[in-house]
C-alpha cells in the first residue's frame, strides 16, 4: 500500500523564529563546540571558555551575598586537574600521597604551585596561572542554575565526581566521570583545587567581573574550591568554599591551570 507523508505547514515567521533559536542554541557557551588545545605534548589539555554572566554564591555562611558576575573576556582552563605526570614533566618530582601518573597531583602547597606555573609559562612562552575564585565558580556552574551543577538533588553527583563513600578514601585517575556542560572533568570532588584568591569571609567588595584583586596585606590562607574525595556529596555544590594555609601540603588538595588568552 502506498503511504502518503503528511507535512505540517509552518508559517514563515515560525520558521524564522525556530531557525534563530537553533542558531542561538548552537553558539551559546553551554552548547558550543568545545575548543581544546595543548601548548606542548606534556602540557595540560585546555578548554576555551567564552564570556558570560552568572549568579555567584549562596545566601548562607561565607558564600554571601549572592551577586551577579559579568565575565567579559575569554580564557582557557585545564580540562582535567593537573596530573602527577604533568607535574613531574615540569618539576622533576612527584610529592603525591596517592601515586599514579593519571591521578591528580596533591600534597602541593600554594607556593609550590606558583613555581610550577612559572616554569610551565617559561617552557611554553605562555601565561599560565590559577583561576580566580570567581572564574572557578563560573566554569563549575557551566551555565547551570541548580544547587549542584548536575541538578537539584545531590544524588546526581555520583555521575560527576569522587567523594566519601565511593572514592575508596583516595584520589582517582582524572576524567573517569562525566564532564560538566563546559567539558571539564572532576569539578566536584577528587581533589580540592587551589585558586588565586586570598580567603575572605564574605563577597562584600569583590569585583563583579571575575578579575583577581591582589591582597592588601599578607595572605596566609587561599581559597580552595571543588571539594575532594573526603567530602560528602551535599558539600560538592559549585558555591561551596574552603580555605587552606598556603604552606599546607594535603592529600586532598591539588589544582587546575588557567591561561589568559
Q: What is the CATH number of the domain that holds 117?
A: 3.90.1580.10
Calpha distance 175→83 (Å, rounded)? 11
Position 139 scores a pLDDT of: 98
70/31: higher pLDDT: 70
Banded model confidence at residue 216, pLDDT cuts 50, 70, 90: confident
User: Do the Cβ atoms of 36 and 79 come closer than 8 Å?
Assistant: yes
Q: Is residue 170 part of a domain?
A: yes
Domain with 209 in it: 33-260
User: Do the Cβ atoms of 132 and 69 come closer than 8 Å?
Assistant: no
Residue range 67-95: average pLDDT?
A: 98
Any idea which of 44-48, 61-65, 161-165, 202-206 has the lowest mean pLDDT?
202-206
Q: Is residue 238 part of a domain?
A: yes
* C-alpha torsion sign, points 90, 135, 236, 153: negative
Q: Is residue 16 part of a domain?
A: no
215/225: higher pLDDT: 225
Which set of grid coordinates corresponds to residue 16?
524564522
Position 127 scores a pLDDT of: 97
User: Per-residue pLDDT for 153 more than 60?
Assistant: yes
Which set of grid coordinates corresponds to residue 141?
556552574
Our count of domains for the chain comes to 1
Q: Is residue 62 part of a domain?
A: yes
User: Per-residue pLDDT for 107 more than 80?
Assistant: yes
Is 68 strand, coil or helix? strand
Given the DSSP bridges, would you call strands 253-254 and 192-198 parallel, antiparallel or unpaired? Answer: parallel
Q: Is residue 130 part of a domain?
A: yes
| Mean pLDDT for the chain overall | 89
Q: Is residue 156 part of a domain?
A: yes
- How many helices (H) and strands (E) in the chain? 4, 11
Calpha distance 237→227 (Å, rounded)? 8
Banded model confidence at residue 205, pLDDT cuts 50, 70, 90: confident
Banded model confidence at residue 240, pLDDT cuts 50, 70, 90: very high
**What pTM value is reported for the model?**
0.86
Q: Is residue 11 part of a domain?
A: no
Amino acid at each position: 500500500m502506498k503511504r502518503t507523508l503528511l507535512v505540517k505547514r509552518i508559517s514563515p515567521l515560525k520558521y524564522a523564529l525556530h531557525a534563530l533559536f537553533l542558531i542561538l542554541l548552537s553558539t551559546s557557551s553551554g552548547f558550543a563546540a568545545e575548543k581544546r588545545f595543548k601548548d606542548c605534548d606534556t602540557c595540560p589539555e585546555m578548554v576555551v571558555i567564552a564570556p558570560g554572566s552568572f549568579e555567584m554564591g549562596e545566601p548562607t555562611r561565607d558564600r554571601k551575598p549572592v551577586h551577579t558576575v559579568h565575565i567579559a573576556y575569554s580564557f582557557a582552563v585545564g580540562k582535567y586537574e593537573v596530573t602527577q605526570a604533568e607535574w613531574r614533566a615540569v618539576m622533576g618530582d612527584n610529592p603525591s600521597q596517592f601515586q599514579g601518573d593519571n591521578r591528580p597531583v596533591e600534597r602541593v602547597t600554594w607556593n609550590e604551585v606558583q613555581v610550577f606555573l612559572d616554569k610551565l609559562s617559561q617552557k611554553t612562552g605562555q601565561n599560565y596561572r590559577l583561576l580566580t575564585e570567581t572564574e572557578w565558580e563560573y566554569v563549575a556552574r557551566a551555565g547551570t542554575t541548580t544547587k549542584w551543577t548536575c541538578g537539584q538533588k545531590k544524588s546526581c553527583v555520583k555521575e560527576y565526581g569522587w567523594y566519601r563513600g565511593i572514592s575508596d578514601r583516595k584520589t582517582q585517575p582524572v576524567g573517569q566521570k562525566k564532564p560538566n556542560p563546559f567539558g571539564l572533568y572532576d569539578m566536584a570532588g577528587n581533589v580540592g583545587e587551589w585558586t588565586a584568591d586570598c580567603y575572605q569571609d564574605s563577597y562584600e567588595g569583590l569585583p563583579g567581573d571575575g578579575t583577581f584583586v591582589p591582597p592588601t596585606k599578607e595572605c596566609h590562607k587561599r581559597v580552595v574550591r571543588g571539594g575532594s574525595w573526603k567530602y560528602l556529596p551535599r558539600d560538592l555544590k559549585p558555591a561551596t568554599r574552603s580555605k587552606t594555609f598556603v604552606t599546607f601540603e594535603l592529600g586532598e588538595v591539588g589544582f587546575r591551570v588557567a591561561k589568559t588568552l
